[in-house]
Amino acid sequence: MQLKTRSETFIEEICDIPGGEGIKRCIQCGTCTASCPNADKMDHTPAELIAMARAGMRREVLSSNAMWYCLSCYLCTVRCPRGIKQTGLMHAFESLAMRDGVSYAGSFTPTMYRSFNHFACALGSMPEFGFMTWFYMLSNPLRAWKMIPIALELFRHGRLSIKARRLTPEGTKQLRAILEKAETLGGVT
Amino acid sequence: MRYYTYFPGCSASEGGAKAYNWSAKAVSRVLDVDLAELEDWNCCGSTPSGSVDELGAYCMATRNLALAEKRGLEMVTPCSACYVIFNRTNTYLNGYPPFKAKVNEALAAGNLAYRGTVKVRHLLDILTTDIGYDAIKSRVKKPLAGLKVAPYYGCQVVRPRFGFDDPEYPQSLDKLVLSLGAEPTNFPLKARCCGGSLVLSEEDVALDLIHRLLQSASSNGAECLITVCPLCQTNLDIYQSRVNKKFKTSYRLPVLFFTQLMGIAFGLEEDAIGLRNCIVPIEEVLAKYV
């Protein structure tokens, strides 16, 4: 059996993701880095991350903090002269890092995304108050305390609903069946 | 009358942006636009779900598209995040047949199938392209002459390129402000990021971005901002006091949904367009012009 080199397998994994194949076209011009509002917060800039992925540095890429600072503003994507969908790559790195259990622990963003997804899947809707309370309890209950003035202000202006919007029982069942089936299909690739 | 399937999204339907839903429906009625809400829709998954479980997130979005396909109309959403998610889903499903087959395999477990034919558009696109500035102008009862409005697009209504306007220097909202009789201010950061959902997990990062936007709008003479996205409105309005505290500033810029500004110009009742939901009150500014 012929063994694949490390770089071939990671790059193939990325190229199999819809929209991921552009990574092969990168010329390291740095336009994505220069466009990114959060590049200064990242341990590796967006362009560096692409270079590392192409060098097969799977573990280093997936444990980076870079993608967790991505705001999904898509400036890099519209400016890339090679048509690479960097924002999509960031999302792909995030979900691979989550799946492998190696996501960066220094930011609350992975926990926030997981909390969001938990409610989106379980209820089929986003009860903002429940989601935020859940997230602050999981991340740092002390920060929940700091959110009380904001919650009161929202409540005063009729913008805080405790009640979640519910799908019909048939709709809930249908969504659950679809998501359960999706889980057995082994990801997008 | 023009007919569309309407996808309000979670924030506008039951969340903090109900005023967007109310005002969107109210001005649509005035403009003979029929927005029939998609029955039994679910959360589009937004950005976070795709970052946790890509396939699950695509399936969540596609369930809505499959339900909408049965009606055969274009689907319109007022939320920029929903808009990007659905368009991205359509692009990948139609561009990658094996991926579409996989998503349909999951959908089949719920007796659904999606062919890939639903065109999804942003409410701003519908109102400015299909209805048009002249029709909007003709419904104005209270021209907002003199009111200086900073048109804030944010990111996902114009990026990536699914759309109807320039990804970095959009104009549609500026022209809409003009058609209402008001004055769009120069606003160099009009299509830059507000911090999005990172306001929850990385508040300082987001406050810095919100600060830059308020500074850009204010230094160009804006008396209020208008937005096209529930999250942008939330960040700019609710977190304005925290920006003031952190940066020792004293901004007091009301942030309206663009449909609320239209409602004001159309002479609609305050409650019908949810003006009281604004944290930074708009009344003081309006008293000068209306």
Query: Is the distance from CB of B4 to CB of B33 less than 8 angstroms?
Result: yes
Q: Is A90 found in the same domain as A19?
A: yes
With cut-offs at 50, 70 and 90, classify the pLDDT of residue B110.
Answer: very high
Residue where a domain stops, chosen among A100, A132, A147: A100
Q: What is the CATH number of domain B2-122?
A: 1.20.1050.140
Query: Is the distance from CB of B276 to CB of A158 less than 8 angstroms?
Result: yes
Q: Is A81 found in the same domain as A22?
A: yes
> Measured between CA atoms, how close is B137 to chain A, in angstroms?
31
B139-287 to CATH, choices 1.10.10.10, 3.40.640.10, 3.40.50.11810, 3.40.30.10: 3.40.50.11810
In a domain, A3, yes or no: no
Q: What is the pLDDT of residue B35?
A: 97
- Span of A36-40, A46-50, B13-17, B66-70 with lowest mean pLDDT: B13-17
Q: Which of B16, B40, B51 sits opposite A113 (nearest CB)?
A: B51
With cut-offs at 50, 70 and 90, classify the pLDDT of residue A187.
Answer: confident
Answer whether A171 sits within 8 Å of B42, measured CB to CB.
yes
With cut-offs at 50, 70 and 90, classify the pLDDT of residue A147.
Answer: confident
Q: What is the pLDDT of residue A8?
A: 65
Q: What is the mean pLDDT of chain B?
A: 96
With cut-offs at 50, 70 and 90, classify the pLDDT of residue B82.
Answer: very high
| Phi, psi (deg, nearest 5) at residue A142 | -65, -35
With cut-offs at 50, 70 and 90, classify the pLDDT of residue A178.
Answer: very high
Q: At residue A9, does pLDDT exceed 90?
A: no
Residue spans in chain B of domains classed CATH 1.20.1050.140? 2-122
Name the residue of chain A whose CA is nearest to B63's CA.
A175
Q: What is the pLDDT of residue B287?
A: 92
Q: Is A172 found in the same domain as A95?
A: no
Q: Is A36 found in the same domain as A69?
A: yes
**pLDDT tens-digit map of A73-86:** 999 999 999 999 99
Q: Is A85 found in the same domain as A146?
A: no
Comparing A164 with B201, the larger pLDDT belongs to B201
Q: What is the mean pLDDT of residues A43-60?
A: 96
Q: What is the pLDDT of residue B289?
A: 86
Q: Is A143 found in the same domain as A121?
A: yes
Q: Percentage of residues in chain A with pLDDT exceeding 90?
A: 74
Answer whether B155 sits within 8 Å of A157, measured CB to CB.
no
Q: Percentage of residues in chain B with pLDDT exceeding 90?
A: 97
- How large is the C-alpha radius of gyration of chain B? 19
Residues of chain B found within 8 Å of residue A98, distances taken between Cβ atoms: 51-53
With cut-offs at 50, 70 and 90, classify the pLDDT of residue B34.
Answer: very high
Question: Residue A116, SS3?
Answer: helix
Q: Is A53 found in the same domain as A93?
A: yes
Range of the domain at A72: 8-100
ipTM summary value: 0.95
Q: What is the pLDDT of residue B226?
A: 98
Distance, CA of A110 to CA of A98 (rounded, Å):
8
- Span of A149-153, B94-98, B125-129, B185-189 with lowest mean pLDDT: A149-153
Residues of chain A found within 8 Å of residue B270, distances taken between Cβ atoms: none
Q: What is the pLDDT of residue A164?
A: 80
Q: What is the pLDDT of residue A6?
A: 54
Q: Is A96 found in the same domain as A132?
A: no
Answer whether B16 sits within 8 Å of A128, measured CB to CB.
yes
The residues pairing with B227 across neighbouring beta strands, listed in sequence order, are B257
Distance, CA of A121 to CA of A117 (rounded, Å):
6
Q: What is the pLDDT of residue A4?
A: 55
Site from A84, A90, A179, A189 to mutate, B interface, most B CB atoms within 10 angstroms: A179
The total domain count for chain A is 2
In a domain, A168, yes or no: yes
Q: Is A162 found in the same domain as A96?
A: no
Answer whether B201 sits within 8 Å of A112, measured CB to CB.
yes
Assign residue A51 the CATH number of its domain: 1.10.1060.10
In a domain, A149, yes or no: yes
Answer whether B196 sits within 8 Å of A92, measured CB to CB.
no
Q: What is the pLDDT of residue A87?
A: 97
Q: What is the mean pLDDT of residues A88-105?
A: 93
Q: What is the pLDDT of residue A140?
A: 84
Residue where a domain stops, chosen among A48, A68, A100: A100
Q: At residue B200, does pLDDT exceed 80?
A: yes
Distance, CA of A120 to CA of B212 (rounded, Å):
32
Residue where a domain stops, chosen among A79, A100, A121: A100
What is the SS3 assignment for chain B? CEEEEECCHHHHHCCCCHHHHHHHHHHHHHCCEEEEECCCCCCCCHHHHHHHCHHHHHHHHHHHHHHHHHHCCCEEECCHHHHHHHHHHHHHHHHCHHHHHHHHHHHHCCCCCCCCCCCEEEHHHHHHHHHCHHHHHHCCCCCCCCCEEEECCCCCCCCCCCCCCCCCCCCHHHHHHHHCCCEECCCCCCCCCCCCCHHHHCHHHHHHHHHHHHHHHHHCCCCEEEECCHHHHHHHHHCHHHHHHHHCCCCCCCEEEHHHHHHHHCCCCCHHHCHHHCCCCCHHHHHCCC
Q: What is the pLDDT of residue B189?
A: 98
> Measured between CA atoms, how close is B268 to chain A, in angstroms?
20
Residue spans in chain B of domains classed CATH 3.40.50.11810? 139-287
Q: Is A71 found in the same domain as A19?
A: yes
Q: Is A143 found in the same domain as A68?
A: no
Q: What is the mean pLDDT of residues B112-118?
A: 98
> Measured between CA atoms, how close is A163 to chain B, in angstroms?
8
In a domain, A189, yes or no: no
**Nearest CA-CA partner of A71 in B81, B55, B15:** B81
Answer whether B59 sits within 8 Å of A179, measured CB to CB.
yes
Q: What is the pLDDT of residue B120?
A: 98
In a domain, A188, yes or no: no
With cut-offs at 50, 70 and 90, classify the pLDDT of residue A7.
Answer: low
**pLDDT tens-digit map of B227-283:** 999 999 999 999 999 999 999 999 999 999 999 999 999 999 999 999 999 999 999
